[in-house]
């Protein structure tokens, strides 16, 4: 995968990264930062599938090993990490194993 160099202000860089990753800047979205080797991330699979089936909120999965720049931009230190966004701004974050109601609360 070819890496892109992104320059500019922090706000401008955030917008560019979000555009490259197709992260919506309008409405609500749930980001899931994970890694293939992460046991708790794999254990969340069924809960995330339920979220996708039962919610109108988009779920965007971001592999931290493949998208380390984006993970750093969002300050990801532990995984799984779930971030709720509304109109491009963070509304909440939860780290570790979470239930379906906890994920829904992030994007309420």
Indicate which residue of 6, 35, 38, 95 is catalytic.
38
Instruction: Say how many Å lie between the first and final Cα of the chain, rounded.
Output: 35
Q: Residue 38 catalytic?
A: yes
For residue 106, give the H/E element and its range: helix 100-106
Task: Give the whole-angstrom CA distance, residue 82 versus residue 61.
Answer: 9
Tens-place pLDDT, residues 13-28: 455 555 556 676 778 9
Residue 75 lies in a domain: yes
The sheet with strand 81-86 has its strands ordered as: 59-63, 28-34, 81-86, 89-95
Indicate which residue of 41, 70, 81, 107 is catalytic.
41
CATH of the domain at 91: 3.40.30.10
Residue 57 lies in a domain: yes
- pTM for this prediction: 0.81
Residue 45 lies in a domain: yes
Tens-place pLDDT, residues 42-73: 999 999 999 999 999 999 899 999 989 889 98
Residue 2 lies in a domain: no
Residues 6+ apart with CB under 8 A from 78: 95, 96
Secondary structure class of 41 (helix, strand, coil): helix
Q: Residue 81 catalytic?
A: no
Which residues lie across from 33 on neighbouring strands?
A: 62, 81
Range of the domain at 24: 10-106
């Amino acid at each position: 995968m070819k890496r892109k160099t992104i320059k500019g202000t922090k706000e401008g860089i955030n917008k560019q990264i979000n555009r490259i990753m197709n992260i919506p800047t309008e409405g609500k979205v749930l980001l899931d930062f994970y890694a293939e080797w992460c046991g708790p991330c794999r254990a969340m699979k069924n809960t995330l599938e339920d979220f996708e089936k039962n919610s109108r909120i988009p779920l965007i999965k971001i592999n931290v090993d493949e998208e380390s720049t984006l993970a750093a931009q969002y300050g990801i230190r532990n995984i799984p990490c779930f971030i709720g966004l509304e109109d491009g701004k963070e509304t909440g974050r939860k780290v570790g194993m979470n239930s379906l109601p906890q994920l829904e609360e992030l994007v309420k």
